[in-house]
Amino acid sequence: MGLRLGLLSTARINDAILAAAAESAAVEVVAVASRSEERAAAYARSHGIASSYGSYEELLGDDEVDAVYVSLPNGLHAEWAVRCADAGKHVLVEKPFSPRVAEVERAFDAAERAGVVMTEGFMWRHNPQTFRLLSMIGEGVIGEVRLVRAVFSFPLGRPEDPRWDPALEGGALMDVGTYCISAARLICGEPTDIAGFGTANVRESDPGGGLADVRAVDSRFAGVLRFDDGALATFDCGFDLPGRDGLEVVGSDGTLYLTDPWHARSPGVVVQRGDETEHERIEPTNSYRLQLDDLAEAIETNRPPLLGRNDAVGQARVLEELLGA
């Protein structure tokens, strides 16, 4: 039997992990926990999962669970990452880990104390498309990298979605903006200067005629990062914009462009140099399966996961600066 994974919550994103585990020879989903026992039991039944629990704590007490997937709303990630590690479970924490460096450090301290693997769930980093982009940059296909432009937006309806809730650390930056930051940092390193604006705290009239903060998370955010070597990255993201995905890396001699950088459903790299444009296609691969296989292999072979402490701390550092978190 491979790595026995437990799901912390009945989140929608679990569907991607369940499908990935079904494809993986290394990982099996064996348990699910919910705040509601009935919901957990129904979820386990409909998804063919062996065990269900009516609290997250109970799942952490299950000896048949080796690793936990934390698919809770953002504001609960760091706390439950620590609790998983303290319970001796390896842990895959959905992005964003936390917008506070100290919380990320605390969670990785707990993981190191417990001798468990901890990793942040940026599935896009595992896709061959991302590695191909990096290898093209490394081979000098576009010369010296000077500018990165990243975008990720989609219209988020569902007013009840936790991503609209400031108490659960929602907001466009925390949700889709984190991919853009992840990309800029992957390509350029850690930024020396970090700036940006969101639409947070948009004031609208309340029924009493005064002004009230009706929406305290950002529904849109635009940022700029500057790096030691002079490279710049700009990004924008939003929940009140049409669906847009893109990653452009502009070098001294040309441009690399990914039209589908985050989901990589139709992966490929567009290379533009002078008047010439080439499109290199890449075989589609399930990023979530690669992410699970990476976790399983890191545990099995005692090697670090693709995304470890440094990456999660780097992400949090940028978010902390942008949000003043």
Binding residues (CB under 6 A) for ligand NAP: these are 9-13, 34-36, 39, 71-74, 94-95, 121, 123, 161-162, 168, 175
| Minimum CB distance to ligand NAP, residue 15 (Å) | 8
- Residue 95 or 317: the one with the smaller Cβ distance to ligand NAP is 95
| Minimum CB distance to ligand NAP, residue 185 (Å) | 17
- Going edge to edge, which strands form the sheet with 244-251? 193-198, 220-226, 232-238, 145-153, 244-251, 255-258, 268-273, 276-281
| Minimum CB distance to ligand NAP, residue 213 (Å) | 20
| Minimum CB distance to ligand NAP, residue 280 (Å) | 24
- Residue 35 or 281: the one with the smaller Cβ distance to ligand NAP is 35
Radius of gyration of the CA atoms of the chain, in A:
20
Q: Of the residues 95, 126, 163, 220, which is catalytic?
A: 95
Tokens of 271: 């290379």
Residues 317 and 101 sit within 8 Å (Cβ to Cβ) = yes
What whole-number distance in Å separates Cα of residue 180 and Cα of residue 151?
6
What whole-number distance in Å separates Cα of residue 286 and Cα of residue 51?
26
- Residue 99 or 191: the one with the smaller Cβ distance to ligand NAP is 99
- Residue 53 or 257: the one with the smaller Cβ distance to ligand NAP is 53
Tokens of 60: 């952490």
Question: Where do runs of H (alpha helix) occur along the chain?
Answer: 14-23, 37-47, 56-60, 77-86, 101-114, 128-138, 172, 178-188, 287-301, 309-323
| Minimum CB distance to ligand NAP, residue 200 (Å) | 17
- Residue 260 or 270: the one with the smaller Cβ distance to ligand NAP is 260
In 3D space, the residue among 172, 152, 174, 314 whose CA is nearest the CA of residue 247 turns out to be: 152
Calculate the CA dihedral of residues 247, 292, 12, 314 and round it to 10 degrees: -50
Is residue 89 part of the annotated active site? The answer reads no
Sign for the pseudo-dihedral over CA of 33, 265, 27, 50: positive
Q: Active-site residue numbers?
A: 95
